[in-house]
Structure formats: C-alpha cells, structure tokens
C-alpha cells in the first residue's frame, strides 16, 4: 500500500444517493471505515449534493457528467497545487501536514468572471452545495487554489484570503496557491479543500494561525515534489467479516455500466 512507503494518501469518494437505501448504503458506510485505514485524508462527496449544482431541466446523462467533472476539477486542483509551477511558492510541508492529519475533508469549487471575479468565485465556492451546513470554523486547514489569467489581480486574491481567514475565525491554517492559465483570461476558478472536518484525530486545542506566507516563486529548474512523511492511522472499528463476501454482490448503476463500455 502507498502508506507503507511513506506516501501521503488522499482519497476522494462519492457516496450513494439518499434514495439508494439498503445494501448499497450499508456497503458504502462500511467501505469508508475500511478505506480510512489506508488514507491520510478522506474527501467524501455525496451524490445528492453533486447534482444540486445541475439545472433542474438538465438531462440525466448530462447531470452525471457534470457531477463527474466536479470531482475531476477538485482532484486536479489538489494535484496541480503540488505538481504545477505557479506564481506563488507553496510551502509543501504545510500541505503534507494538513493531509497527514486531515481526517474528514470536503472540497468546493467556484468561478467568477469580470470585474469582481475573484470575490465572486470565492463566494460561489463558499456557497457550494458541498459546504452546505458546514462551518468554516470547524476546519483545521484550508487549501485555496486560485486559477486565472495573467490579468489576475493579486490585491483581490489577498482580499479573498483575508476573507477566508475571517470566516474561519482565524483558527484554520490557510495554504494558498495561484496558477496562471492563458485560457482563463477575465475568469477565475477557486478550489477549496477543507481538512479536519468531522474528525477527532486533530488536536482540539488549536491556536490561531496566520495565512501561510506567500513568496514569489523562483525557477530552480527542478520539479517540486512532496517529501514522504510518517504514516498515520486512526483507530478504526472492525468491519464485519460478512462484508468481504458481499463485495461480489455489489450492484452497479446503469450509467456506470455504460461508461465502462
């Protein structure tokens, strides 16, 4: 397993719809318990909330594609923060520590266009269905990845980070990333990853932390890499042995069977 070699393991998992009661829900809950043993940060994405971003008259196949794209954007945002050179030098040790002690995590995406594109994108992310009923003060860490064109106003990004700090009560460690993309002229995308949601693995006696210091990136000619860290594991309750036998009986939704073909 990846954790056995010291890698930081982040899992993004979609959960069944609320109407999928019975065996599918039970398997999903117990699957999460088993998966937690092999991950440092577990991002859960309920299908119900994914489809809340889709227009009510959107055809079902397009709605599923939209939900898949939200997952793709979130995963891509996390990976690009580490692998792609940006305008801001990110402290990778902060990201590693946040993920190692991440526990339960959530992600949200927002976009903005025009004069107030950064603040609009942040507001859309903060009001994303994935963060419904979530208080930012419950998060121990926030990764905020901004992607925009070369016309991205740095002052607006700074204001957005200050807004995040205020809404989190100054308790969350905020790690920003800024990536320039020529295709994003006059537009901004914000991807938020909140760590430490719904977990007891984090130290409850948290102190106020400032926004991570941002410094201009230097071209070293070397690709950035995330150093291996110590493996981390929570105390996870045992799963009933009958679950192993039930794996072969998992039913697959029709839209997933179509995608497989």
pLDDT recorded at residue 123: 94
DSSP string computed for 87-136:
SEE--HHHHHHHHHT-EEEEEEEEEEESTTHHHHHHHHHHTSGGGTT--G
- Residue 198: per-residue pLDDT: 59
pTM of the model: 0.65
Report residue 172 as tokens: 């969350």
Report the pLDDT value the prediction gives residue 211, as an integer from 0 to 100: 45
223-226: long-range pairs with CB below 8 Å, 24+ = 223/83, 224/82, 224/83, 224/85, 224/92, 225/92, 226/8, 226/82, 226/92, 226/95, 226/96
Alpha-carbon span 152 to 164, nearest angstrom: 18
**Assigned token pair, 174:** 């905020």
What's residue 89's pLDDT?
Answer: 59
Per-residue pLDDT 10s for the chain (261 aa) are 677 777 788 888 888 888 888 888 899 989 988 888 888 888 888 888 877 777 888 888 888 888 888 888 878 877 777 777 777 756 677 777 777 765 678 888 899 999 899 999 999 999 887 777 778 888 888 889 899 998 888 899 999 999 999 998 888 888 888 888 888 889 999 989 888 875 433 233 333 444 444 444 555 554 444 344 443 333 334 444 433 333 433 444 444 444 555
What is the model's pLDDT at position 90? 66
Q: What is the dihedral of CA 65, 70, 73, 76, to 10 degrees?
A: -90
Q: Are strands 187-195 and 103-113 parallel, antiparallel or unpaired?
A: antiparallel
Contact (Cβ atoms closer than 8 angstroms) between residue 113 and residue 156: no
All domains of the chain in start order, with CATH: 8-217 (3.30.1330.20)
Reading the block at residue 209, the tokens are 């932390």
Within 10 A of 48 (CB to CB), how many other CB atoms are there?
Answer: 15
């Amino acid at each position: 397993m990846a954790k056995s070699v010291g890698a930081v393991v982040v899992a993004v998992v979609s959960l069944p719809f609320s109407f999928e009661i019975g065996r599918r829900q039970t398997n999903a809950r117990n699957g999460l318990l088993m998966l937690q043993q092999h991950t440092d940060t577990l991002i859960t994405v309920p299908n119900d909330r994914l489809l809340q971003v889709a227009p009510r008259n959107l055809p079902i196949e397009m709605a599923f594609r939209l939900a898949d794209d939200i997952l793709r954007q979130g995963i891509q945002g996390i990976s690009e923060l580490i692998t792609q050179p940006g305008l801001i030098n990110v402290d990778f040790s902060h990201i590693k520590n946040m993920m190692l002690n991440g526990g339960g995590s959530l992600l949200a995406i927002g976009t903005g266009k025009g004069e107030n594109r950064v603040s609009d994108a942040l507001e859309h992310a903060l009001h994303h269905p994935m963060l419904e009923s979530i208080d930012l003060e419950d998060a121990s860490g926030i990764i905020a990845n901004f992607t925009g064109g070369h016309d991205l106003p740095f002052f607006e990004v700074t204001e957005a980070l200050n807004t995040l700090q205020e809404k989190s009560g100054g308790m969350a460690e905020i790690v920003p990333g800024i990536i320039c993309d020529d295709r994003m002229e006059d537009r901004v995308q914000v991807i938020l990853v909140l760590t430490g949601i719904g977990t007891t693995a984090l130290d409850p006696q948290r102190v106020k932390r400032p926004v991570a210091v941002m410094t201009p990136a230097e071209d070293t000619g070397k690709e950035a890499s995330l150093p291996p860290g110590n493996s981390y594991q929570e105390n996870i309750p045992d799963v009933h042995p009958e679950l192993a036998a039930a794996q072969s009986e998992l039913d697959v939704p029709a839209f997933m069977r179509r995608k497989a073909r």
